[in-house]
Amino acid sequence: MTSLAENPRLTGDWFFELDQSGFLQGARVTRRLASEKSPFQEMEVIECDPFGRALILDGAFQTSEVDEFMYHEMLVHPALMTHPNPGRVLIIGGGDGGTLRRVLQHRQTRPTQVEIDSVVVEASREHLPAVSAGAYDDPRTELIIGDGVQYMRDNPGQFDVIIVDSTDPIGPAVELFRAPFYRDVAQSLSDDGLLVAQSNSPLLMQDELRSQVANLREAFPIVRTYLGVVTGYPGSLWSYSIGSKRYDPVDVDPSQISQRLAASGMQTRYYTPAVHQAAFVLPPFVAEIVA
């Protein structure tokens, strides 16, 4: 028997996540920068060895200085490149600002972000400035602290792209993975609009991925799941899903993506035209989850 408690290499301060499957992932904490209980969740900012500064909500790793680009580039760019002119973009959640920053890299966008928890925005701006990188100060940004679901209902037919940048389907975000929510999203999108949302781990949260895609199919004629990697997320492999009224993300012309990347002067570390195409190729063991 080897207990974690007895192991001298594991003394000290650790952040860890224990998946329901028995999968453990963690990081050695070198510094605790902030801890606050908001009306919605427990918020912490830590500094840890492999990830630098990281945001933790209700005990779950959200993003870090080191790997935030992996998640935010792959959440934002495939959807925005799928729409030929994504002017009005709504971000629900995303309090750390990394999604907003990538939306603003597309020059034609006028983003509105509705985040329910001001504590997350404030802590991220103070302790994780490298994630939003000034996005909250951009004159095109409209930030609303409030309920994104209600905001959508009040603005039908208004948005070209809606980005759901939420925590996992527990806590305040649980409604954001259900069928009624996606019907509200579809109502708030323009006739050729599309939605993108993170859709959990295809390795460790297969049931959640399966039900989310089923719910998306009730609201959208075109539903596509794609894959990316985020070092800090349990199992690292992560899925994202797009629900679209008109444009199919797998049909986007790579040369169009190249042109738009060049025109915007965007520097990416994950997303490229070839990565866009490759991300939608699902190994059979993933394809069968969302079949």
Residues designated catalytic: 165
* Among positions 89, 203, 216, 219, the unique one binding a second copy when judged by CB under 8 A: 203
Size of the site for a second copy (CB under 8 A): 52
Q: How far is the CB of 289 from a second copy (least distance, A)?
A: 12
Q: Which value, in Å, is the radius of gyration of the alpha carbons in the chain?
A: 18
Does 4 bind a second copy (CB under 8 A)? Our answer is: yes
Cα torsion angle, 219, 161, 291, 209, sign? negative
Residue 26: which residues within 8 A CB-CB, separation 6 or more? Answer: 14, 15, 16, 17
Comparing CB distances to a second copy, the nearer of 200 and 215 is 200
Residue 92 backbone phi and psi in degrees, to 5: -105, 120
Helix (H, G, I), strand (E, B) or coil at 92: strand
Does 50 bind a second copy (CB under 8 A)? Our answer is: yes
Helix (H, G, I), strand (E, B) or coil at 85: coil
Kindly identify the residues of this chain, within the stretch 55-74, that bind a second copy according to CB under 8 A. Answer: 69-70
> What distance in Å separates the CA atoms of residue 201 and residue 103, rounded to the nearest whole number?
24
Comparing CB distances to a second copy, the nearer of 19 and 138 is 19
Segment interacting with a second copy, rule: CB under 8 A, options 90-98, 101-109, 138-146, 279-287: 279-287
* Among positions 43, 48, 80, 189, the unique one binding a second copy when judged by CB under 8 A: 48
Does 11 bind a second copy (CB under 8 A)? Our answer is: yes
Angle among Cα 11, 15, 21 to the nearest 5 degrees reads 105
Comparing CB distances to a second copy, the nearer of 179 and 289 is 289
Over the range 220-233, which residues count as b (16 or more CB within 10 Å of their CB) and which as e? Answer: bebbbbbbbebebb
Segment interacting with a second copy, rule: CB under 8 A, options 95-103, 142-150, 176-184, 269-277: 269-277
Structural contact between residues 185 and 223, judged by C-beta atoms closer than 8 angstroms = no
> What distance in Å separates the CA atoms of residue 29 and residue 49, rounded to the nearest whole number?
7
Comparing CB distances to a second copy, the nearer of 7 and 39 is 7
Does 281 bind a second copy (CB under 8 A)? Our answer is: yes
Angle among Cα 164, 251, 192 to the nearest 5 degrees reads 50
Alpha helices in 83-147 (DSSP H): 98-104, 118-127, 129-132
Does 43 bind a second copy (CB under 8 A)? Our answer is: no
> What distance in Å separates the CA atoms of residue 172 and residue 211, rounded to the nearest whole number?
18
* Among positions 158, 187, 190, 236, the unique one binding a second copy when judged by CB under 8 A: 236
* Among positions 60, 133, 179, 237, the unique one binding a second copy when judged by CB under 8 A: 237
Comparing CB distances to a second copy, the nearer of 48 and 119 is 48
Does 130 bind a second copy (CB under 8 A)? Our answer is: no
* Among positions 39, 139, 265, 283, the unique one binding a second copy when judged by CB under 8 A: 283
Residues forming the site for a second copy (CB under 8 A): 1-7, 9-16, 18-19, 21-29, 48-50, 69-70, 203-204, 229, 231, 235-237, 268-272, 274-275, 277-279, 281, 283-285
